[in-house]
A = this chain, B = another copy of it.
Amino acid sequence: MERIEQHASWGGRQEVWKHASSALGVEMKVGVYLPPAALAGQACPVLYWLSGLTCTEQNFITKAGAQQFAAAHNIILVAPDTSPRGEGVANDDAYDLGQGAGFYLNATQAPWASHFRMEDYVTQELPALVAKHFVTTGKQSIFGHSMGGHGALTLALRHPGLYQSVSAFSPIVAPSQVPWGQKAFTAYLGEDQAQWAAHDAVALIAKAQERLPLLVDQGLQDDFLDSQLQPGLLEAAAKASNHPLTLRLQPGYDHSYYFIASFMEEHIAHHAAYLK
C-alpha cells in the first residue's frame, strides 16, 4: 500500500492509498479516513462505503460529508473504487457496465471474469490490507449508494457474521428485476437467471441465515426510483421473511450526494451503535 493523498480533515486525516490487488489483477485506489482516535494510536472499527455507478474512490470522500461523523464516533471509513480499471481491463462504452460498474460480485463470464472480482476484493483482500496497515478493533460494517447499496446489502446477506451492521442509500434492491441489474448480471454471470438470485438482495432475504437489521433511505424524487430501485420489493421481501428492515422514504430527495450527505449523520450513528 502506498499513500498518494493525505488531507487533515475534522481533526483526523483523509487519505487515498493505491495498491496492487491480487483479487482484481490491477492497481486499485481506496480512500481511508482516519479519525482523531486512530491518529492517536487507538484501535478503531472500520466502516466500508461502496459507491455507485461511474464513481471512483473520490466521490464519497469529497462529497458525502462523512468525515465529521466518523471523527465523532472514532470510526475508520474505507471507500474503494467501484471496479478494476486500466487499459488491460475489459470495458464497455456504456456507463453501467465494465469499468466503474463492478456490481460487487465475481464475474464468471468472458471477458469480465479475469479482473471483475469485486466481491473477493471487498470482503477478503481489502479487509486484510486494512487490518495490516491500520490499527483496528476487528469489527466492521458496510454501507453504500445505489449500485453500492446493492453491494452493501448483498455482501452482508451473503457473508453472515462478516459485518456488524449494514445500511444503504437508494440501493438497487432487486437487480434481477430491473434494467441496470439485468444488463450487468447477463454480462457478468451469464444468461442463467438461477445464478442471479445469489446476488440479489430481495432474493437473498428469503434465505438469510442472519437477521441483520437493514437500514435503507430512499429519496422520493429519485429519477431512478420506479425504473431501477423499487424499494417496495425489498419491503415486501423483508415482510415475507420477517427480516428486520427500516425503510425510510424521504420526500423531496433525489439520487445525488446532496441526499446522501443529508442523512449521513444518522447512518454513521446507526453503524457506531453496532461497532462499539
Residues on the B chain within 8 Å of A65, using CB: 65, 68, 261
- Determine the distance from Cα of A63 to Cα of B258 in the docked complex, in whole angstroms: 10
Q: Which positions 1-16 of chain A face chain B at CB distance < 8 Å?
A: 7-11, 13-14
> Is the beta-carbon distance between A8 and B252 smaller than 8 angstroms?
yes
> Is the beta-carbon distance between A62 and B10 smaller than 8 angstroms?
no
Counting chain B CB atoms within 10 Å of each CB, the highest count among A62, A219, A262 belongs to A262
> Is the beta-carbon distance between A8 and B262 smaller than 8 angstroms?
yes
Tell yes or no: A134 within 8 A of B by CB.
no
Counting chain B CB atoms within 10 Å of each CB, the highest count among A7, A11, A62, A256 belongs to A7
> Is the beta-carbon distance between B221 and A254 smaller than 8 angstroms?
no
Residues on the B chain within 8 Å of A67, using CB: 258, 261-262
Q: Which positions 45-70 of chain A face chain B at CB distance < 8 Å?
A: 62-63, 65, 67-68
- Determine the distance from Cα of A3 to Cα of B219 in the docked complex, in whole angstroms: 21
**Residue from B8, B221, B253 in contact with A221 in the complex, judged by beta carbons closer than 8 Å:** B8
> Is the beta-carbon distance between A258 and B7 smaller than 8 angstroms?
yes
- Determine the distance from Cα of A8 to Cα of B261 in the docked complex, in whole angstroms: 10
Tell yes or no: A257 within 8 A of B by CB.
yes
> Is the beta-carbon distance between B262 and A10 smaller than 8 angstroms?
yes
> Is the beta-carbon distance between A256 and B221 smaller than 8 angstroms?
no
- Determine the distance from Cα of A221 to Cα of B8 in the docked complex, in whole angstroms: 9
**Residue from B7, B9, B62, B254 in contact with A7 in the complex, judged by beta carbons closer than 8 Å:** B254
> Is the beta-carbon distance between A262 and B62 smaller than 8 angstroms?
no
Tell yes or no: A169 within 8 A of B by CB.
no
**Residue from B8, B257, B258 in contact with A219 in the complex, judged by beta carbons closer than 8 Å:** B8
Counting chain B CB atoms within 10 Å of each CB, the highest count among A14, A252, A253, A258 belongs to A258
> Is the beta-carbon distance between A11 and B262 smaller than 8 angstroms?
yes
**Residue from B9, B250, B261, B262 in contact with A258 in the complex, judged by beta carbons closer than 8 Å:** B9
Tell yes or no: A259 within 8 A of B by CB.
yes
Taking the closest CB of chain B, its distance from the CB of A13, in whole angstroms, is 8
- Determine the distance from Cα of A259 to Cα of B62 in the docked complex, in whole angstroms: 11
Residues on the B chain within 8 Å of A253, using CB: 7-8
